[in-house]
Every structure is written in structure tokens, then in C-alpha cells.
Amino acid sequence: MAGKRNDRVLIFDTTLRDGEQSPGISLNPAEKLEIAQQLARLGVDIIEAGFPIASPGDFAAVQGIARTVEGPVIAGLARTHVADIDAAYNAVKDAAKPRIHTFISTSDIHIVHQLQTTREDVLGQARAAVAHARNYVEDVEFSPMDATRSEVEFTAEVVAAAIEEGATTINIPDTVGYTMPAEFSAWLERLYVLVPALRDVVLSVHCHDDLGLAVANSFAGLLAGARQVECAINGIGERAGNASLEEIVMLLYTRSADVGMSTAINTRELARTSRLVSRLTGYVVQPNKAVVGRNAFAHESGIHQDGVLKERTTYEIMDATSVGLEANSIVLGKHSGRHALRQALEDLGFEISGAALNTAFKRFKEIADRKKTVSAMDLEALVTDELREEIAAYTLESYAVTASMAAPPQATVAVRLPNGELGRGEFSGDGPVDSVFHAINAATGFDAALREFRVGAVTEGQDALGEVSVVVESRGEAASGQGVATDIIEAAARAYLRALSTLRRRAELASSAPASAESKPGAAELVSTP
């Protein structure tokens, strides 16, 4: 176990950076801030809040998190370009613990075909970038991208230069998820031999899941001496995703006596964090997902049920309460008052009062009139939905749909427009939801088309809240939206309008952004990150 110094593993969460680069995910600054606040409650050590140079919106989101969220280190990603590092610093400088994370590829396949440069240039860029970042902050992380497909001797040379210039964390990415656990361990052990100074800084690993080995490779990295893991909630991220934070954490928690490592994560917040990220990104958690999937602690087999009823540990290696699933026991009804609602929300970590509480209470009462009970997950969905409503450019005022087997559905909608006026639209489509979406287009003046539509239940039962996620496209731009209501058509309309709101906001940001091609990466460059 080369390089091992202690048993404390730092959790570096990249949900808001690499996770947001998942196709179809686009979080606005308010949503990113809400996730960051929950990550702080979860107890992550570092939040990679975004890629500040990518867009004005991402810069604003990282800056807002740096100024607001307390506890974790707040990191901004930057290529080795001076403009990137300047933007990252300006975004994170107001954090109590700021970090600049800079990267450049060291694999020949990237150097020749993507960067179209030489090894010597890569070495020089890495050295200059770390030195520049170190002039701004004391906490600098460097990543040799595509390291596991690089020649270890050359990567060692670049890593040594980065450490000489003041890098405090060296992150080794398995950028395309190609390596296998034994290979990764051997590669890292060789790196320790080639770079003795690596023992004086934090070694980190960042593994992708293209072959389903992200968690296994991350664990192999820890066994080889790494003490930081870069991961994401629900394993979201580029292509097949990143190592799943909840799986890494519960692996170390459940097998702590054997592996001798621990984290500072409050595991009881894992399930709620997973649900929040799923709702805001629109990425549904698969039922059999380890730790946080709805079937993670469910038992269908009679043999398994019999064993668990007699002794839980016969078929469960973790207690459901250890990941926060006991939150489902919070129950409110239509006779509950503001005080009970506020207390329940505070128990869930939401501190709201005044007008915000009144708005939440009104929505709670509307839901409670349609449901027998309102659970903790209902409340989480309600608060998250209200957050989306506050920042939406378009909001649903009313809708009506007439439908029968004898005639096509007819939808009429009223939408509050950004200028405060009421837009109205009517349309007859292939079904109730299709009719509502086309009527919304007519009301808002958008020429938009539906690309994806998903519907699910927040909780179980016939009166469950329905949650709809959509991906909408207009003029080559795609955006996602989510909506929650006991009425699926209403939830779908809210989701569609929020996607249109995102498209409008992007267009406004693009029109106001300075047209500097040198300071901003193009789409092809943005996908090429650790």
C-alpha cells in the first residue's frame, strides 16, 4: 500500500461539474446552489462547483456557491489556459476554502489528435498553469487527463513538475474508464516510485464507469495509497458516468473494519441527496441501484423475506436507516398547520419562513387535499418544485383539457409570461399531454419540440405525487425540465414550461456574453475534461 499515511479519505464531489456534463442535464444557478447546500449537509470535503470559463451562467453558479456554502472546499475547474485559471479564481475567491483544479492530457492519443501539440508543450503548460494558479490560492489540484492510457514515465515527469510548482493534490483520472483494478493499482504504485514527492501531497483518483469499474477502480486506488476520491451522486457524469459517491462511501463504511479507511460523510443524508439530484437533473435512479435505489432494501423472494423477518442481517449488509431511508416515516395531513409544516421542513434541512413559508403552505394544502398523507419525500419534492417555480420565466396559470374516444383532445392553457402578461394558447393534439404542450408553444411563441418524456411517482399509492421530466428542443438547443403534481398533466405542463424557461435564459445569457472566442471553450473542448 504505497504512500498510505492515514485512514481518512477525502470525498471530492463533482456532481455539479462532471455530473452536469451528462447529456440532457442543465442546472441553473439556483438549482446548483440547492444541491451544493445539500452536499455540505452530507459532509463532502470538496465541492467541484463547475467550470467557470464555460459560460456566464456557470461562472455565476460557482461564484454563488463560493459566497454562500460553508464547510467544504469550493473548487473551480480550469484548463491550463491563463483565461481559464483567471476565471476559476474570480469565481471561487470568495470561498472560505477556495481551490483551483487545472488539467491537461498526458496520453499520446490526446496530445497528437486532440491537443495537436507535443509532450514538451504539455509539460510546459502544466508547469505554467500550476504556478499561475498557485499565485492566486494555496490549494491547487492538478490532473493529467487520460492518465491511465498515458506512458507512466512521461506522466510522472508532468506530475513532478506540478508538485514542484506548488500543486497540493495530484488527481489521476481514468478518463475513459479503460483500466482495470489490478492495472490501476500497479500504475499508481509505479507512479509513487517515479515521483517520491507524491508522498508529500494528496493523491486523488477520478474514475469513469465505461466498463462498469468506476467504483472498483477507485477502491483499488485507495488501496494503492490514494486518499481522495472524485465521485458524483448517483454516479452521473460523462458517458456512462463517474464513480458513485454513495457506493464508495458505503463500501468504506460497511467494510471499515477490513479496509481501515473512513470518510466524514453523514451517511443518513445519502438517500435524500440522491433524490434531490435525481429530481433536479431529471435523471431517474434505476430501481436496483446500489444503496439508494428503491429496491436496494426490498425483498421479493419468500426465502429472503423469511430470513429478514427473523434477523435483518441474514440478507442485508447495511441498515436502511444508515443511508437515511427512515425519512419516509414523516407524515403530514390536510389538517396540519404552518407550524407542523415548518417543523417537518426544518427536520429535512429546509429553513423557510415568511412569504416562502406561506407559498409552501398553500401548495402543501393543495396536495394534502388530494392525498391522504404527505410524506417526507412529498415535502422534498414540493420544496424543490417551488424552487423551480421561483426562477422560471414562464409559469402555468391554468389549463383545461377535453378528451374522449369520439374526438381529438382539445387543450387550452394560460401562461404567465416574463413581462407579466398572460399568454393564452389552444391546440388539438394526439393526446392530452401533446395537446397541452402545443398549446403552451402557442401561448409562449416558442417553436419547441418534445424529445424525451418520463413520468414516475414520488411515493407509492394511487394518490402519489407524479413527477414528470422532459427534454425539449428549440432551434438546435435542448433543455430539461421537471414538474411535480398529483395531476400528471399539470406536472407535465410545469416541466415543459421550465424547460422553455431554461432555453430562454440561455438565449439571454448568450446575447449578453462578450464574444471572446479565445477565453471560452467550444462544445467539443468542454466534453474533454477529466
In CATH, what number is assigned to the domain containing residue 167? 3.20.20.70
Q: Are residues 369 and 436 in the same domain?
A: no
Both ends of the chain: CA-CA distance in Å? 25
In a domain, 425, yes or no: yes
Residues 352 and 406 in one domain: no
Instruction: Give the domain range for residue 428.
Output: 392-512
Residues 194 and 273 in one domain: yes
Lowest mean pLDDT among 9-23, 330-344, 478-492: 330-344
- Please indicate, yes or no, whether residues 51 and 93 belong to a single structural domain of this protein: yes
Asked whether residue 120 is assigned to any structural domain, the reply reads yes
CATH number at residue 402: 3.30.160.270
Q: Is 373 helix (H, G, I), strand (E, B) or coil?
A: coil
pLDDT-based confidence at residue 520 (cuts at 50, 70, 90): very low
CA distance 175 to 189: 19
Residue 67 inside a domain? The answer is: yes
pLDDT band for 282, please (50, 70, 90 cuts): confident
Q: Which residue has the higher pLDDT, 463 or 318?
A: 318
pLDDT at 268 over 60: yes
Say whether pLDDT at 381 is over 80. Answer: no
Question: What does residue 88 show for φ and ψ, rounded to 5 degrees?
Answer: -60, -45
Is residue 243 one of the residues assigned to a domain? yes
The residue type found at 184 is F
The helix (H) or strand (E) run that includes residue 244 is: none
Residue 103 DSSP class: E
Task: Report CA dihedral (17, 23, 24, 28) to the nearest 10 degrees.
Answer: 10
Cell 451544493 appears where?
A: 36
Burial class (CB in 10 A: 0-12, 13-18, 19+), 515: exposed
Q: Looking at residue 314, what is its pLDDT?
A: 82
Q: State residue 78 phi and psi, 5-degree precision.
A: -150, 140
Residue with the bigger pLDDT between 127 and 345: it is 127
Predicted pLDDT at 525: 47
- Report whether pLDDT(466) > 70: yes
The amino acid that residue 173 corresponds to is: P
Closest CA to 87 of 40, 55, 130: 55
Same domain, 407 and 366: no
Asked if residue 250 has pLDDT above 80, the reply is yes
Decide if pLDDT at 209 tops 80: yes
SS3 call for 470: strand
Assess if residue 397 is contained within a domain: yes
Please check whether residues 350 and 490 belong to one and the same domain.
Answer: no
Q: Is residue 78 located within the same domain as residue 218?
A: yes
pLDDT number for residue 305: 58
Q: Is the pLDDT at 38 greater than 70, yes or no?
A: yes
Buried residues in 7-24 as b, exposed as e (16+ CB within 10 A):
eebbbbbbbbbbbbbbee
- Specify the amino acid at residue 90: N
User: Does 381 share its domain with 397?
Assistant: no
* 372 and 411 share one domain: no
Domain count, the chain: 3
Q: Are residues 87 and 152 in the same domain?
A: yes
Does an H or E element contain 410, and which?
A: strand 410-416
Residue 308 CA: distances (Å) to CA of 130, 294, 302, 311: 54, 17, 10, 5
Which pLDDT score is estimated for 473? 92
Quick one: which of 473, 464, 472, 498 has its CA closest to 483? 498
pTM: 0.75
Q: Classify the phi-psi angles of 231: left when phi > 0, otherwise alpha if psi is within -120 to 50, otherwise beta.
A: beta
Look at residue 255 and tell me if it is in a domain: yes
- The reply to whether 385 and 401 lie within a common domain is no
pLDDT of residue 2: 46
Amino acid at 411: A
Q: Is residue 112 part of a domain?
A: yes
pLDDT for 22 equals 86
Enumerate residues 6+ apart whose C-beta is below 8 A from 239. Answer: 177, 208, 210
Does residue 288 lie in a domain region?
no
Q: Which of 151, 467, 12 is nearest to 280 (CA)?
A: 467
Confidence of residue 327 (pLDDT cuts 50, 70, 90): very low
Q: Give the pLDDT confidence score for residue 4 in this predicted structure.
A: 44
Q: Which has more pLDDT, 381 or 261?
A: 261
- Is there a single domain that holds both residue 97 and residue 86? yes
Question: Between 38 and 475, where is the model more confident?
Answer: 38
By the 8 A CB rule, do 530 and 175 touch? Answer: yes
